[in-house]
Chains A and B, each alone.
Chain A
Amino acid sequence: MSRSADRHNLRGHAATLLFYPFLMLMVSVLTYHPLYLGTELLVLIFALALHGGVRTFGRTLKFSIPILVLILAINTLLNKNGATLLYKGPTVAILGQIRITWEALAYGLIMGLRMLVFFAIFALALNWLSADRALGLSAKVAKRSAVTVMMTTRLIPYLTEQSHQIGDVLRTRGVRFEEGNLLSRLAARRPLLNVLLISSLEGSWQVAESMEARGFGQGKRTSYSRERWSRIDLIIWLTFLAAIALVVWSWFTAWTWIEFYPRIQTVMADEGPWPTVFHAVALALLLALPPLLLKKRRRTSNGTS
């Protein structure tokens, strides 16, 4: 679980907090216009910075470098549809003749940008919504599935603890977990797994019995914590609607449209860059609004009434 999240500074209903990343994801898969993707990344970094999640994002970036290199390499080396030749090399097996074009390079770079946007979206979702709240929300729509996941998350630390105990017992009986080659070390853990499987299955029987005794599945599900809708949520959902309308409009006017091959084409060539730029900026401003509204104002020491 992400520990850097500063969730006390956040307000809003769980559904609002979940829909925002989803909306961002839909925008990033609908278009690969670099202008839209770029402004989206800026908005995401702004949101992460505002709510203290930049470090989480930074950590995921380390893992994303190989994927980014891979995306760039596959797109530039394998795509031969571009018209503007940058480099022509020898013929290689599988790849054919090496032919690097500007269009393929730009495509690879923009797709890398898209991948960064994906990572930022998930970093934000993690930062905003704890697993408990997300599960609590999904329990509203999918009761049994949410209960299954909740029970699993509860069982993991319990079973881990139990596995340590079983391991200790086995050690006192002379089982050596760290001796021998790989196979024998793997096999040494077999009795441990065996005992753990039986005890966890037996335990599940007891859980089921107590669920029955407490009347699981009878009537409406009760919950300790309650999600509340506030005026802020209403305003944010209105900005969501406005953003969706704007995206649909941009989609139909082809501002989000970009064609890479054989040459990069956008509507910017026909009608000048400004309509597209205005739209991208307007969308960015709209999307930057929810993180700002969700930020809880800090109470000053004399302002607590």
Chain B
Amino acid sequence: MIRRVLSWLIVLVALGGIYLAYTLWPDEDLNWAVASLVLLLLGLGLFYLRYERSRVSSKEIAVIASLAAFAIVGRIIFAPFPNFKPTTYLVILAGYVFGPRAGFMVGATAAVASNVYFGQGAWTPWQMLAWGLAGASAGLFGRLRGEKVTPYELAAFGMVWGFLFGWIMNLWTWLSTVYPLTFETWLLTNTTSLLFDISHAAANVIFALLLTRRFLPILWRFRKKLTITTLEVLPHEKSN
């Protein structure tokens, strides 16, 4: 209950902030550098609050940590291929099987932990958001399609996220250093990373086609193992 109230409170603060920002600066004069930063932190805060407040079992924490570490180690294993990293696809796969909350956490955790090794920076929170949302949206997609999904569907999903990831990463540069904020300037900001985005999308497609058939059954099996319910302590045992 408290969790729900707090979550809605954050959403209301964000909406109220947007409303106030627009009424105070109606003529496109809103400071987007501040607004985007605040919205980003609120959004990440909302997800983390959900994770903290829900009674996540130690098994779930361990599985999320393992999958996040696995996604990062995938990056190290594929070091000989500079533009083909399975990380995004593995985050999507984890989200697809374990649901939106676990998907977000795998993505966000992978971003923080990999930057502990590869260097933190202004991009870290945006990377957390991008990978987190990739995992969370895959979780929603998983609820929709379940075990019937084909590698081709996940390949298409991964391709979309290859581009979305780049666009989210470019968002802050665009919002905080470019004026005016029009479609043309947005397009030009994104053309500079176009080659990276294309290779990212291609990598997701290739890994989806290569790995899905083998990895999905493994993950489904572990998900089944994860949903073991613990028994309540009986009243007469409690008194001892």
Contact = CB atoms under 8 A, between A and B. Distances in A.
A148 B58 contact: no
Contacts of A30: 31, 34
A144 interface: yes
Interface in B21-77: 31, 33-34, 37, 48, 51-52, 56-59, 61-70, 72-74, 76-77
A75 B69 CA distance: 40
B218 interface: yes
Contacts of A237: none
B58 A211 contact: yes
Nearest to A80: B180
A190 B210 contact: yes
A79 to B, nearest CB: 6
A1 B115 CA distance: 8
Contact of B173 (A71, A153, A193, A211): A71
Interface string A174-213: 0000100011011101101110111011011101100110
Contacts of B188: 74, 78, 94
A112 B48 CA distance: 33
Contact of A159 (B73, B114, B187): B73
Interface residues of B, number: 65
A153 B177 contact: no
B52 A145 contact: yes
Interface residues of chain A: helix, strand, loop or mixed (majority): helix
B116 A197 contact: no
A147 interface: yes
A151 B62 contact: yes
A114 B176 contact: yes
Given A204-B63, A216-B58, A114 B74 contact: no
Report the interface size class on chain A: 35 or more
B121 A186 contact: no
A70 B112 contact: no
B238 interface: no
B52 A125 contact: no
A145 B48 contact: yes
B113 A153 contact: yes
Interface string A60-103: 10000011001100110011010000000000001100000000
A76 to B, nearest CB: 11
A43 interface: no
Contacts of A160: 73, 76
B117 A29 contact: no
A70 B173 CA distance: 10
Given A118-B122, A187-B210, A111 B215 contact: no
Given A126-B119, A148-B61, A148-B68, 9 more contacts: A29-B37, A70-B192, A118-B122, A145-B51, A149-B113, A152-B110, A153-B113, A156-B114, A201-B66
Interface of B: 31, 33-34, 37, 48, 51-52, 56-59, 61-70, 72-74, 76-78, 80-81, 84, 86, 105, 109-110, 112-114, 116-117, 119-122, 173, 176-180, 182, 184-185, 187-189, 192, 206-207, 210-211, 214-215, 218, 222, 225
